[in-house]
Amino acid sequence: MNLALAGLIVLMIGDSHLAAKDFLLASLHSALEEQGGNVHSYGVCGSMPHDWVAQTTLSCGRGQRHNMEEPEIEKTDKSKVWSLAALLRRYHPDLLIVELGDNMAGYGVLPELPKDWITQQIKALLVPVRADHLPCLWVGPAWGTEGGTSKKNFARVKELSDFLSGQVAPCHYVDSLKFSKPGEWPTYDGEHLTTDSYQIWGNDIAGEVVRFAATLHRH
């Protein structure tokens, strides 16, 4: 059986969508493992690109998962964000997946998308990725549902996704909006999906990863 990610070390970092056991830390991580990847995932609730450079301390928990082990979830109001550069040195991955977006949108708070600020954050995070010429995918946000405690709205998430797609090079952008219609996937709070929705999103992302992996030159 030819597994698309056989022999590849995959490092994945993200925000709250990757920080709870029934979220992408379950669905996406497992889907990549099933394709033969050696997968290491790290998620910190509330995190943005800059946090993975500065190792900020955030207040809503973090999670990690390694290969087929169970997710390790830390529910604490003092969660230190891992350093991407340190993780790259630790694992020497063949492929990096970055899932960061929603926390930069300013839903219901900022009158306009803070484009210059977002550009600076992304540029700083990708310094070691560019230096190592590391194959990379950047997963953009899903539609979610409008309202809820997250105050998510479709116009802003579309604006954010379109903007991210032009900012994340050399990473390949994964446009999660194309996987569903606005509001099609139920959520708890506007932003965080139900378990079934995370399963669908994770499988859709994994399909993009498999297609991308087919373009890589193997050692």
Structural domain contains residue 159: yes
Structural domain contains residue 3: no
Are the beta carbons of 137 and 171 closer than 8 angstroms?
yes
Q: What is the pLDDT of residue 2?
A: 74
Q: What is the pLDDT of residue 218?
A: 58
pLDDT in tens, the chain (219 residues): 579 999 999 999 999 999 999 999 999 999 999 999 999 999 999 999 999 999 999 999 999 999 999 999 999 999 999 999 999 999 999 999 999 999 999 999 999 999 999 999 999 999 999 999 999 999 999 999 999 999 999 999 999 999 999 999 999 999 999 999 999 999 999 999 999 999 999 999 999 999 999 998 654
Structural domain contains residue 4: no
Q: What is the pLDDT of residue 219?
A: 47
Structural domain contains residue 36: yes
Range of the domain at 124: 9-213
Residue 42 belongs to domain with CATH number: 3.40.50.1110
* Total domain count, the chain: 1
How many of the other CB atoms lie within 10 Å of CB of 196? 12
Structural domain contains residue 99: yes
Structural domain contains residue 1: no
Structural domain contains residue 30: yes
Structural domain contains residue 34: yes
